[in-house]
Each structure stands twice: as C-alpha cells, then as structure tokens.
Amino acid sequence: MKTRITLKKIATEFGVSISTVSKALKGSHEIGEELRGKIQAFANFYNYKPNNLALQLRNQKTSVIGVVIPEIVHHFFSTVIDGIEHYANKKGYNVMVCVSNESYEKEVLNFNVLTNGSVDGLIVSVARGTQESKNYKHLEALVKDEFPLVMFDRIINEIECDKVLIDDIGGACKATEHLIEIGKKRIALLSTEDFVSVGLLRKEGYIKALYHAGYKVEDDLIYKLDDSKDLKEQIKKLFEDPNMPDAILAVNEVYAANALVIAQEKGLSIPKDIAIMGFTSGLISEFTSPPLSCVEQHGYLMGEQAAELLIDRIEHKENKEYKREVISTNLKIRKSTKC
C-alpha cells in the first residue's frame, strides 16, 4: 500500500511548517490567501484525508461503538445490529461487531480487545456461557470504571447499567392469552434451559396468563430444550404424550417451525388439532405452511434504542441514572392459530 499523504509531507513540499498546512486546510484566515489556496489545491489533488488514528488519539474519542453478541447468523440479532448501525451512523459513529459464539471466554476476550481504547462504548447481549457461569467480572469492571455500557435482550439484573429489553413477560402472556381465546386447553411451552434469562421471563408470562385464566400450570407441559442437541428429537417427545397438548407456544422461531414440521409429519391439522406460535417474526414464519403466528420483537427498534442510550451516556458524561427501556411486543396472528 502506498503510504498516505500527511501534513508533514505537504509542509516539506511547500517549505512551510506543519501547523501552517493544518490551518490552511481548515481555511484559517491566519494563513495568506495565496498560500492557503495552493495548499488546498495540492492536498485536494493528492486526496489528503486527516489520519483518523491521530485524531482519535488527540481528541480522546474514537466515535466507534463496540457490539458484542452471541451470534450473528440470527435474524433477531442481525436486526438489532441493523438498528444500532443506523442510529450510530446518523450520529457520526461507526460500529465494530464481535461475536461471542455463546462462549464466556470469547466474550471476555472481545471485551478486552474492545475496551483497550478502540471504542467509546459497548452494547452487549451476553453469551449463554456467561449466563450459565454467572461470572460477571468483566461487566462489573466496566461499570466500576463508568465505561459506557448498554445491555440488551440477554441482560443481567445484578449489573447496573443502561438496559433495553423486550417485554418478554407481556409478550408471552399475550400469546398465551391468544391461545386460550381460540379455545385451547392444554398449552405446551417450548422453552430453553432456565439459565437463559429470556427463556425464564417468557415462562413467567406464560404462567401468568394461565393463572389469570384459571388454568392450572402443568410442569410436564413445559419442555426445556437443549440447543446443543438434536432439536427435532427433543420436540418429538411432546407429540408422543398420550395426553398431547392442543397448542404450543415456542420461545423462538426455530423451535416453533420445527414443531410445525413435526406436527405435519404426524398428519395433524394446524391449528385445529394443534395450534402453534413462536417468538420473533423472522423470515421463516411467513413461509411455513400454514404461516406461523408469533410475538413480534422489533429488533431494529431495540437496536436504535440501545445505540441512543449508549451515545447519550458517551456524550453527556453527567452520571444520569441508569435507564431501563422496555420494547413492547405485539402479536402477529397468522394461520397457525387462526381457527
């Protein structure tokens, strides 16, 4: 790569000092009109652009936001990034994305790299490994240093920082109510293991709705799936129950879609024999047959909110109180629950 042109090179070219060049390029009236014009023309010709690193070092500001997420090949997370990117760009920030791959170790590594001065703040959705290990030292360290930090979706209550979350309880509750409304009696929940905060909250909403409707909560209607094993095998068990449920609420789109495919293989009629709905309106839900009802999550909005909170925190250093924004959900009713 050819070395880029710098102030120094322009300065020696004209036999003037670096500061003169700097001022000339900024159109300062301190510099004579003629020289100023010549320098500007020269710099323009050689496509001079100030070196960002130098500026960042001088201004003690990178205008970069770091984002650490568990996965990137994931409709919800990529939607959130999209929202972050959009808002950040509007405010003159760039985005650096790191993937933790659900691993605690990788997450800590990402934190170390990003907080070495490369970014002005961090937006994080914690890895499953972190939730499992309950080791939050890397997060606590940031909070202690008052490093701008926003958590979203997979948050940790013990850590005090700005947070953006989905109304998981409300969403699951509304969804369950919907299933009750269409006359379903035995509603199963396809959830994650309990240490995943989001799964736990959605279970809470599910239970709340059952309770309000006077249904009793049956533990064997709650299936906790392990993502590291074969999903279909685990879901199939639900259908083998002699007293099979007549509705399924899944905590994400993939669980729901898998359940739907299995139901069809078994020759069941959806939603008559069994109604199914999921969380997140990704692309899958639209194209299954019948299309899946779901709880829409508004990831883009969530990303925008997270970026807004972070940039606010970065720019107004006054230690305002930590905010906790809840993004409400809404039901997208499609044919999989439309009787």
Partner DNA sequence: TTTGGTTACGCAAACGTTTTCGTGTTAGTA
Partner DNA sequence: TACTAACACGAAAACGTTTGCGTAACCAAA
- The interface with DNA within residues 58-97 (CB under 7 A) comprises 58, 60
Contact window for its own copies (CB under 8 A) among 173-181, 190-198, 240-248, 279-287: 279-287
Residue 149's CB is within 10 A of a number of other CB atoms, namely 25
Is 213 an interacting residue with respect to its own copies (CB under 8 A)? no
Q: Chain-centre distance of CA 267, in angstroms?
A: 37
Say if CB 152 and CB 164 are below 8 A apart.
Answer: yes
Is 101 an interacting residue with respect to DNA (CB under 7 A)? no
Say if CB 279 and CB 294 are below 8 A apart.
Answer: yes
As measured in angstroms, the least distance from the Cβ of 18 to its own copies is: 16
Nearer to DNA, 1 or 283 (CB): 1
Is 125 an interacting residue with respect to its own copies (CB under 8 A)? no
Q: Which of its own copies, DNA, none does residue 133 bind (CB under 5 to 8 Å by kind)?
A: none
Q: Say how far apart CA 25 and CA 19 lie, in whole Å.
A: 10
Q: Sheet holding 293-296: strands in order across?
A: 222-224, 187-191, 247-250, 275-279, 293-296, 330-332
Contact window for its own copies (CB under 8 A) among 161-169, 209-217, 234-242, 260-268: 260-268
From candidates 1, 12, 13, 35, binder to DNA by CB under 7 A: 35
Nearer to its own copies, 61 or 324 (CB): 61
Alpha-carbon distance values, 269 to 57, 181, 250, 261, 264 (Å) = 64, 19, 18, 11, 7
Q: Is 49 helix (H, G, I), strand (E, B) or coil?
A: coil
CA torsion, points 311, 316, 317, 318, in degrees to nearest 10? Answer: -130
Say if CB 75 and CB 253 are below 8 A apart.
Answer: yes
Contact window for its own copies (CB under 8 A) among 122-130, 208-216, 221-229, 256-264: 256-264
Name the amino acid, one letter, at 279: F
Q: Say how far apart CA 73 and CA 274 lie, in whole Å.
A: 30
Instruction: For residue 271, give both structure tokens.
Output: 């939603």
Name the amino acid, one letter, at 164: V
- The interface with DNA within residues 3-32 (CB under 7 A) comprises 3-4, 6-8, 15-20, 22-23, 25-26, 29-32
- The interface with DNA within residues 131-170 (CB under 7 A) comprises none
From candidates 96, 217, 244, 331, binder to its own copies by CB under 8 A: 96
Contact footprint for its own copies (CB under 8 A): 1-2, 4, 47, 49-54, 56-57, 62, 64, 72-75, 78-79, 81-82, 85, 94-99, 112-118, 141, 145-148, 254, 257-258, 260-261, 264, 282-284, 286-289, 317
Residues that bind DNA (CB under 7 A): 3-4, 6-8, 15-20, 22-23, 25-26, 29-33, 35-36, 48-51, 53-55, 57-58, 60
